[in-house]
Amino acid sequence: MLTTGSNNPHSVLMIRPLHFAVNAETAADNSFQAEGSPTDTGAAVQEFDAMVDSLRAAGVVVHVIEQDRTDTPDAVFPNNWFSTHADGTLVIYPMAVPSRRRERRQDIIDRVATAESAILDLSHEEEEGRILEGTGAIVFDHRQRCAFLTKSRRAEVTLFEELCDRLTYRVVAFDAAGRDGSPIYHTNVMMAVGQHLALAGLTTIGDDKQRSDVRRHLAAVDRPLIELTAEQIESFAGNALEIDTPNGPVLVMSATGWASLNDVQRDQIESVMPVITPQLPTIEKSGGSARCMMAGLHGPTA
């Protein structure tokens, strides 16, 4: 069992997508999104429920909350608007478009916070055009107290630096682009970093120095690094999350992402921990996948 001293989340919060739709407001800078795709809310709910069942069967503690309004098509991705931390800190983030700002809910804040929680509310920064979309924009390496960010309109670098200063995390900011040359909109579609495993699409980082810097940070501890191709990133293989259970850690990656990996990569991952691979073809049309659907809960909030 690999849980000793782990910095992984010990449970996750998920929003059941009763009013799921592909969000036209976010299409401009999300090349992972299937623009113009017809909405199939029923299929999205079925995929969500099946994923929750598979997580719970593997021992993952899952807190499910129902989507509460019809004008939040991306509510299934709660990790973008809040994050929890081992010391009890709860961070609330500024979002790029109005429909995503409406996802913030006081009942969820009340549920994940404790009386001792320090709440760091950055949502007012969006009034000044300063956007930082949570653990979509930021990939935290809690083991090394290091935070990775790919620059995009969803991630204002100076605000990221200010947050890292508050949390006492080292800053690693870089430029990454897809095969079409457009900036990758969220870091968590090209990188996943857990206590025991890291996955990263380093080839998407065009600058040699930046790529070397990211690789150096990821290789600084004894933890396998699975390098992903641009094609695998497009299949959401980077959008994964390592979670602790009573039986040890598991990795959650969609079936689409898992199918894109080669046998050597799969063997590397499975030699470290079991993998849960939910089928998410409808939800993935919105430009996010398994990791985006789970807000990891740490410390006293779990």
pLDDT tens per residue across all 302 residues of the chain? 454 568 999 999 999 999 998 767 665 555 655 665 557 899 999 999 999 999 999 999 999 999 999 999 999 999 999 999 999 999 999 999 999 999 999 999 999 998 778 999 999 999 999 999 999 999 999 999 999 999 999 899 999 999 999 999 999 999 999 988 989 989 999 999 999 999 999 999 999 999 999 999 999 999 999 999 999 999 999 999 999 999 999 999 999 999 999 999 999 999 999 999 999 999 999 889 999 999 999 977 55
Count of structural domains, the chain: 1
Boundaries of domain holding 149: 11-301
Specify if 1 maps to a domain: no
Specify if 212 maps to a domain: yes
Specify if 141 maps to a domain: yes
262 Cβ contact list (under 8 Å, min separation 6) = none
196 Cβ contact list (under 8 Å, min separation 6) = 2, 223, 224, 242, 249, 272, 273
CA distance linking residue 34 with residue 258, whole number of Å: 20
Strand order in the sheet with 61-66: 61-66, 11-16, 295-297
CATH at residue 206: 3.75.10.10
Specify if 94 maps to a domain: yes
Specify if 2 maps to a domain: no
Specify if 229 maps to a domain: yes
Burial pattern 53-83, b for ≥16 Cβ within 10 A else e, equals ebbeeeebbbbebebeeeebbbbbbbbbbbb
Amino acid identity, residue 101? Answer: R
DSSP of 129-168: T--B-HHHHEEEETTTTEEEEE-BTTB-HHHHHHHHHHHT
Specify if 253 maps to a domain: yes
Specify if 147 maps to a domain: yes
Residue 244 neighbours by CB distance under 10 Å: 27
